Structures are given as structure tokens and as C-alpha cells.
Amino acid sequence: MSNAAITLDRLGLSFVGADRVTPIFEAFDLRVSRGEFVAIVGRSGVGKSTLLRILAGLAKPSAGRFDLALSDKKGTRPIALVFQDSRLLPWRRILANVELGLEGLGLSKQDRRKRAEDALALVGLADQAGKWPHQLSGGQRQRVALARALAVDPDLLLMDEPFAALDAITRRFLQDELLRIRAATGKTILFVTHDVDEALYLADRVVLLAGSPARARLDRRIDAAHPRARDAVASSDLAQDIHRALEV
Amino acid sequence: MTDAALPSLSQTPSRSRAKGPWSLGKTALGLAGLAIFLLLWEAAPGFGLISPLLLPPPSSLPGAFWRDLQSGAWHEAMFASLSHYLLGLALGSGLGVGLGVWAGVSPQFEAATSYIVRILRPIPGLAWVPFAIIWFGVSTGGATFIVAVGVFWINFFAAVAAVQAVDRDLIEVADAFGHRSIRAKLAKIILPAAAPGILGGLRTGLGQAWMAVVAAELFGVPGLGQRMMQASSLLATEIVVVYMLTIAALYGLCDYLFVLWRDALLKWKP
Ligand SMILES: Nc1ncnc2c1ncn2[C@@H]1O[C@H](COP(=O)(O)OP(=O)(O)OP(=O)(O)O)[C@@H](O)[C@H]1O
Ligand SMILES: [Mg+2]
């Protein structure tokens, strides 16, 4: 049995505009092992969100194949996505927003509620459960979106710049929280970020997308054990390489 | 706003301080305007400007109202009209919203019905009166039909527009969290997101429907409209005015209750 959670095989996707076709991916290959934490970096517009959308089943590739080998335990969902914008449902209170993915899984009302409350507590927002989304700050909303994804206990967690809108202290707290969850559950994580230091602090592997159509210009393992020293990560050779590759 | 010059302790209290007396003043002004209107109305026949037969003075209204209350005519007409109103409204709004939501989510259904809509939509509701009489007779059924036609299109178009305007990004959230059937999407995203627009259509329909009720009853279906026709043929204009005001009051009440319900449904809106 193969150990790959994600296999992209010569994947292609283009956006068809009025006067031309823009290929975002063309014959794009990527393999992600089970339990791997992969950070995806790359310049704006290169196709990072599009890649996550394909994996989440929200966009259809026009060529190639992709395979997901994910466990589908009862009461969970195989995949959850944290969108780049929080996308909470304005007519649901915070707790009900977190319950969205838990509905339709055959859970009792109490179970749903309990799991949503736990997920909210995890992101430090237990006391906001009864509020409406518009009553929260942008960063708080983004944390609710994270809780909504964590609540379904996904085997594959897709995260699109989830911490970009947060202050440094909250961001560090949630980064460590994410590492803890990951160590405890062995989830496979694809984590898009613009912050190279963040990628190096969190991930087992960094993939840098560049070009049009996008290619993995750089694909490197990071073997350092957790917890990592943040300043050592920021000044590492790999950090220099990534910054250089981003500038090309 | 002279308050702006004050030390900026807090803006909100100064605003509510400014608003309190002014809103009282507005009420007083409104009541004063109404009083002057009634006085002029009362005085007009006295000055010989117009015959009291053509314009019954307000002072004649309570007596007329009391007489119709005593005879039971008022209740009878009111309940008859209310039942035409509620039945027609439920039927027209239900079908309008239902088909409108369908057309909003299904481009095929929208395309299939587009020419039918284009032909039927410009026909004024009252142009259906001949058919209402042929199909249902001068009866509750006929009046209900006229009311239903009168509110159908408002609700249909409001629902189509509201559903088509639902943020695609939110529908995607349903997809991302496993709610992929159209039923789940309707329940979890589309209907709640479209609710403000749909409720706006329903509210417009509440007003339109009274127009249709009165019009249908002017053709003889028992109710407020019919009672007004009877009274006017006897030149009992004060009774006509009593029923005009009855309609205004019923409409006001329905609208008030509807707004309470709507605000409860939409309490999530900032
Ligand atoms: N629906 C669409 N129609 C046409 N073009 C699109 C569409 N969605 C995305 N694109 C284009 O595809 C490219 C990749 O978009 P994507 O959102 O994946 O970028 P990204 O790498 O996530 O960028 P960012 O870092 O700014 O979020 C962009 O050039 C964008 O203009
Ligand atoms: Mg993006």
C-alpha cells in the first residue's frame, strides 16, 4: 500500500477568459505522504488557493488525475478547508457556524454542540459562542473559521493563509496549537502562507510554487525536530534559498 | 450640530441626547399636522366649500362606524375580506416564492419559463377579473384568485433576484463542508442568504394584496369593497370613509405584525 495521502498526476487547470486561456497548472505533479505537514509558498496569483480548491473538490482540474487516500472515520469529514477569507455565515451565531460541518454526520445535537464548543475553546473564543459574526474582529472571525475546520476532525486539513490576519502573539499561540494537534492526531496538512518563517517553523516540507503555469521551483524537507527555535529558523540557509527563489 | 464643539467625551450619548427631544418633537408635529387636517376637513362643508354629502365631515364617522358595528355588517365584511386577503396572499406568495426560488437556482427552469414570464407578467392583475368570474364565480374563490395573481409576480421576481444574488463564496462553504445536495444548500445557505430579499417581496405583496381585495370585492364578492359600493350607491359617503379607514387600519396592522416577524427572522443583520 502506498503511503501517499495526496497524489497529483499531470494535473492541468486553466481559466478561460474572454480573449485568452490562462493555464494555472499544466502537467503538475505533487505527492504528499500521510501525516506530512507541507507548507506551500509562492507569489500572489501563482495558484496556491487554486491548488487547495482542487483538493477540496471545489474546482475541477481540466486534465490529469488526483488521488486522495484519506481515512473517513464515522463522525468526521475527510477534508476540511480554512478559506483565505473567513467566510462565516452571517445568519448563524458563532457556535452554529462551527457546527456547520458537523451537521449531516449523524451526530446527536449534544455531540455537535460539544465538539463545536471544544473547537472554539481551542482557538480561544469559547466566550464568543453566542455572538454574530459581524460582532467579531477580522482576526477572531478567522479563528472561528479555523475552529469550524478543526471541529470535523479532518484527516486532511487544507489551510489558506489562516494566520495572516492575526497579531504576532495570537499567531504564535495558534501555530503552536496547530503543531500540538498535528502531533496528537497525525493529520496531513497543506498550509499556504506568505510568511517564509512561518513555513519553516511549522512544516516538514516546503514547496515553492512559481511561474505560469505553476511549477514546484523548490521542494525541500525540513528535518529539525519540534519545537524549533524561531530565530534559528528565520536565519537558516533554507530561509535564504526560499527568499532568493521567491525573488526570481 | 453644536455638540461637535464640546469636549469629545463620548459621541453616542450626545447623539441620543439630541435625538430624544427631537423625536418627541416630531411626534408632536405629526399629531398637530393631523389635527389641522381634520379641522380643515371638518370645516370645509361648514364654509360651504363642498356639500357634506360629497365629503362627510370626520365628526360623522364615529356614528356611522357604531351603526355598522351594531348591525354586524362591519364584522362580516371585515372577516370576509380578511379571509380573501390571507388566502390569496398565502397562495400567491407561496407559489411566487416557490417558483422564484426554483428559477433562481435552476438556469434550465429559468430559461424554460422565460417566455411564459414575459407574456404573463405585463398583464395587470385586474385584467384577470373576467376569468376569475368565469372560473370561480363571484365568490371567495374568485377574490382569492385575484389577490393571488396580484402578489404572485412581486414575490416571484423578488425571490429570483434574491436567490441569484446569493454570494457564490458562501455556497462554496457548503460544498467544502460536505453539504453538496441542492436540498442541503437551500436549507443551509441559499434560503437564509436570500431571506432579506424574499421578505422584502412579501412585504410589498402585503400592500398590493389589499388593493386586489378591494378591487375583487367591487365586483360583488362580499367584503369591505362590496360594502363600500353599496354605501356609495346610497350616497352614504360616511360609511365609505369608515371602510376606507378600516382597510388602512388592517393594512397597518398586517404590516406591523409582518415587520415584527421579519425583524425576528433577520436579527442577525447588523
Ligand atoms: N475564477 C477565476 N477566474 C479566472 N481567473 C481566476 C479565477 N480564480 C483565480 N484566477 C486566477 O488564477 C490565478 C491563481 O489564483 P489563486 O487564487 O490560486 O492565487 P494565489 O496563489 O492563492 O494568490 P494569493 O497569494 O494572492 O492568494 C490568479 O492569477 C487568478 O487571477
Ligand atoms: Mg490565495
Cross-strand partners of A38: A190, A205
| Domain presence at residue A98 | yes
pLDDT at B9: 42
Alpha carbon of A87: minimum distance to chain B alpha carbons (Å) = 6
Beta strands A215-221 and A205-210 are antiparallel
Cross-strand partners of A190: A38, A158
- The owner of cell 477572531 is A140
| Domain presence at residue A148 | yes
Q: Is the CB of A24 under 6 A from ligand 1?
A: yes
Task: Write out chain B residues lying below 8 Å of A146, CB-based.
Answer: none
**pLDDT by position in tens, chain A (length 248):** 468 899 999 999 999 888 888 899 999 999 999 999 999 999 999 999 999 999 999 999 999 999 999 888 889 999 999 999 999 999 999 999 999 999 999 999 999 999 999 999 999 999 999 999 999 998 899 999 999 999 999 999 999 999 998 999 999 999 999 999 999 899 999 999 999 999 999 999 999 999 989 999 999 999 889 889 998 888 889 999 999 999 87
Q: Which of B175, B178, B184 sits opposite A58 (nearest CB)?
A: B175
Q: Where are the alpha helices (DSSP H) in B47-72?
A: 61-71
Task: Write out chain B residues lying below 8 Å of A83, CB-based.
Answer: 169, 173, 176
Query: Hey, how many other C-beta atoms are within 10 angstroms of the C-beta on A20?
Result: 8
CATH of domain B60-265: 1.10.3720.10
| Domain presence at residue A226 | no
| Domain presence at residue A53 | no
Query: What distance, in Å, lies between the first and last C-alpha atoms of chain A?
Result: 39
| Domain presence at residue A209 | no
State which of A20, A48, A159 you would mutate to test the pocket of ligand 1, scoring each by most atoms of that ligand within 8 A of its C-beta.
A48
pLDDT at B19: 59
Residue ranges making up the domain that contains A119: 90-153
Q: Nearest CA to A197 among A164, A219, A148?
A: A164
CA diameter of chain A: 53
State phi, psi for A42 to the nearest 5 degrees.
Answer: 155, 160
Q: Where are the alpha helices (DSSP H) in A152-223?
A: 168-185, 196-202
What three-state secondary structure class fits B227?
Answer: helix
Q: How confident is the model at residue B18 (pLDDT cuts 50, 70, 90)?
A: low
Number of domains in chain A: 1
Q: How do residues B88-117 score in pLDDT, each as one tens digit?
A: 999 999 999 999 999 999 999 999 999 999
Ligand 1 atom, smallest distance to A47 CA: 18
Q: Are B169 and A85 in contact (CB under 8 A)?
A: yes
Q: Nearest CA to B209 among B87, B121, B78, B95?
A: B87
Q: Which of B170, B176, B266 sits opposite A58 (nearest CB)?
A: B176
| Domain presence at residue A143 | yes
pTM recorded for the entire structure: 0.87
Q: Is the CB of A213 under 6 A from ligand 1?
A: no
